Amino acid sequence: MSQVAHGDVGAWEKTSRWVNRRRKWVFAAPAMIFVALLLVFPVVWTLYLSFTNSKGSVRAPFDFTGFENYFTVLTDTERFWPAVGRTAYFTGGALVFEVILGIAIALLLWKPFKGERLVRVAILLPLVATPVAVGMMWRLIFEPNIGFANEFLSWFGIPAQPWLSSPDTALSTLVFVDVWQWTPMVTLIILAGLTALPEEPDEAARVDGANWWQRLWYVTLPLLAPTITAAVVLRGIDALKTFDILYATKGKGGGSFHEVETLNIYAYGLSFDYNRYGQASTVLILFFLMIIGLIWILSLRKKAANK
């Protein structure tokens, strides 16, 4: 009896020692296996599908067609290239405004003031709000006949705008919505960067007689450059992949004229509205390559800046 118990303790100790010695992998393996199963397999599968003519039902047989999809997609000036253009326009526009406004608001909030808590809560609200609900909210505000946006303009004698309902203005209006929701994100990152800055350079510049603007432009912003780059990368990746507000305001296919159809919306439509999985996979692979390329360029610039 006691011998069995003794043996158990030995086994337990052995296992314990084994587990402790290999804790690096015991800890990391479950998460990594999970991610590998749900990430690596899909990426490989998408790559494979992009060379096939899979469409219709997911159970339907399909053939290997080589680079046919890539040829079709890359010569498609009706849906693919306009979608690339819209993605660039949306992401570029959103990033420019979000970074400039985000830095401006962070500077406003930097030094302590009365009511700081209230302002900090106010900028946090858009950030946590459900994007689909945010899309619906702006859909009502930008409604040409009953929305508040045109009512607001009429107070200043400005004629009513079509906002989301016109193919010419819809994408720009959605850039505005994205800027409204995500500028606080940039502000928070920049604020964290500002608080971590050393005070000496600013003080030294002040002693040397630099005014507020000079200290900001020649001292604070250069010191903040790595933080700004981090904010641009984080926000840029998410802006490229924007889906929720576009789908919530314009529905399938980015509106009746595809006026807000970005690459992500296009790939989603190809997959789940048209069920053309092969072609959708090609678009996704090209989209993914573009994202990786952009990150690579940004990281090169960052390395150059660090030198």
According to CB under 8 A, which one of 62, 88, 126, 167 is a site residue for other proteins?
126
- Paired residues of 52 in beta bridges: 64
Tell whether residue 284 is a contact of other proteins (CB under 8 A).
yes
Q: For residues 80 and 73, is the Cβ–Cβ distance under 8 A?
A: yes
Find the shortest distance in angstroms from Cβ 26 to other proteins.
Answer: 8
Scan residues 148-187 and list those touching other proteins (CB under 8 A).
Answer: 148, 151, 180, 184-185
Under the binding rule (CB under 8 A), the answer on residue 268 touching other proteins is: yes
Query: In the window 55-84, what residues touch other proteins (CB under 8 A)?
Result: 58-59
Residue 245 Cβ vs other proteins, minimum distance, rounded to whole Å: 10
C-alpha dist (Å) from residue 280 to 43, 47, 196: 13, 11, 44
User: Given candidates 94, 95, 174, 280, which one binds other proteins under the rule CB under 8 A?
Assistant: 280
- Minimum distance, C-beta of residue 1 to other proteins, in the bound complex (Å): 28
**Strand, helix or coil for residue 129:** coil
The total of other beta-carbon atoms located within 10 Å of residue 93's CB is 18
Q: Is 39 in the site for other proteins (CB under 8 A)?
A: yes
Q: Is 129 in the site for other proteins (CB under 8 A)?
A: yes
Q: Which stretch binds other proteins (CB under 8 A): 2-10, 73-81, 189-197, 253-261?
A: 189-197
Binding status of residue 89 toward other proteins by CB under 8 A: no
8 Å CB contact between 134 and 125: no
Q: How far is the CB of 227 from other proteins (least distance, A)?
A: 5
- Confirm or reject binding of residue 88 to other proteins (CB under 8 A): no
**Interaction between residue 106 and other proteins (CB under 8 A):** no
Confirm or reject binding of residue 12 to other proteins (CB under 8 A). Answer: no
* Backbone phi and psi for residue 143, each to the nearest 5 degrees, phi listed first: -60, 125
Grouping H, G, I as helix, E, B as strand and the rest as coil, residue 268 is helix
Bridge partners (DSSP) listed for residue 21:
none
Q: Each residue of 236-260: b (16+ CB within 10 Å) or e?
A: beebbebeebbbbbbeebbbeebbb
